[in-house]
Amino acid sequence: MAREYLKKASRTATSEASETHETVKRILAEIEAGGDAKALEYARKFDRYEGNLILTHEEIEAACAKVPDKLKRDIEFAHNNVKRFAEAQKTTVSDVEIEIVPGMIAGQRAIPIDAAGCYVPGGRYSHIASAIMTVTTAKVAGCHHITACSPPRSDTGVSPAIVYAAHISGADKIIALGGVQGVAAMTFGLFGLPKANILVGPGNQFVAEAKRILFGRVGIDMIAGPTDSLVLADKTADAHIVATDLVSQAEHGYNSPVWLVTDDRELAKNVMEIVPNLIDALPETNRDNALAAWRDFAEVIVCKDREDMASCSDAYAPEHLTVQAQDIDWWLERLTCYGSLFLGEETTVSYGDKATGTNHVLPTSGAASYTGGLSVHKYMKIVTWQKATREGSKEVAIATARISRREGMEGHARAAEVRLAKYFPNEEFDLYPED
């Protein structure tokens, strides 16, 4: 049985890349040349905000005071979970020292990146959770300076909930800047900020393109596209819950793909009948996004069996992957390409997006085939070192000289040879490769 598409996407999740690239490239160049003044000019143009760009301690305290106690408790709950998971992740990376050959010692060190720039979306949706996810992990990693950057509303500034989340998560500075100008300020070290060594966090296509252009000058978490989600479901799945999970992810944006992969045609048909009603029941803005995403980008695929389902999923390499099927352990062992995996009906992508502790900054557009998402490890450099006794360097020097000469790199060979001559003046060595 070949895979059957009960619903096929009419569009793919691409943007007007060329136009966006040129716009962002120009803005970055102008801000780099014009410094604080040019960034401020763009802030007033795009953010329409006249307030303080770098929030003072008093402004942070005032914003935090506006956050209701119940929301504070929820933010603190999510922060604690993210912190605990990041701390557990950090234990998986350690300094290493090994004697490769007698007298030749090599090692690795895990060194935190000095300055992190965390972008927190605040436009259509105020991404409270993004502040928690990005700042907390940087803090646990041990970054020396963390800047949280979020677009302000023209009348109220940065969302008080975002300010509170960034503050309790450990941000050293909070700046009220959006879009390309915010990314530029962190990268170029404007307004007295240290230059960021890494930029992280989700954002619109302009933020994503700015990170793409700047990658190399600074590190980034990943090059992100529209968020995407896939649900694997068999005949035991609850069609209403499956449909709800698909719609919950489609509301991210008009071009956010959602996919259902199943081996049960009846389940697929039931889900397709339920989805439109669930979309209709959403608030207007959410409804418009979900409607467009479902209409243009969603797919429903019927496979012959669970192995075919797993192969289909791995080919899509979704950002979020949900399994609502029997034998959860089989799926955990079998699946290999996803940003984050949600096993069983009892969990959902929404949990991971907000509060379970795993990070919601994840690879999109198939990037899960080669990378994972944001973690404490992204903020750490794994560097190596070596040292040796003179005797320990002997065999290494001989091999280095021969390999280098075979490669045609005579300077490398002589760097090894000069040490042998100094350390072992009374010995002769064959330092040339065989013909």
- Give the active site residue among 79, 209, 252, 319: 319
- Give the active site residue among 145, 167, 252, 320: 320
- Tell me the C-alpha distance between 191 and 195, whole Å: 10
Q: Are strands 340-343 and 320-324 parallel, antiparallel or unpaired?
A: parallel
Nearest-CA neighbor of 357 among 373, 368, 378, 369? 373
Look at residue 421 and give its three-state secondary structure. helix
| Interaxial angle between packed helices 17-42 and 179-188, expressed in degrees from 0 to 180 and rounded to the nearest 10 | 70
252 carries an active-site annotation: no
Other Cβ atoms closer than 10 A to 364: 24
Identify the helix (H) or strand (E) that includes residue 411.
helix 410-423
Pair of tokens at residue 71: 């929301």
Contact 234, 264 (CB under 8 A): yes
Within its chain, how far is the Cα of 175 from the centroid? Answer: 21
- Tell me the C-alpha distance between 76 and 82, whole Å: 10
Contact 228, 365 (CB under 8 A): yes
Phi-psi region of 216 (alpha: psi -120 to 50; beta: other; left: phi over 0): left
- Tell me the C-alpha distance between 288 and 280, whole Å: 9
Contact 255, 13 (CB under 8 A): yes
Nearest-CA neighbor of 136 among 373, 326, 379? 379
- Tell me the C-alpha distance between 202 and 296, whole Å: 23
Contact 31, 38 (CB under 8 A): yes
319 carries an active-site annotation: yes
Provide the annotated active-site residues.
319-320
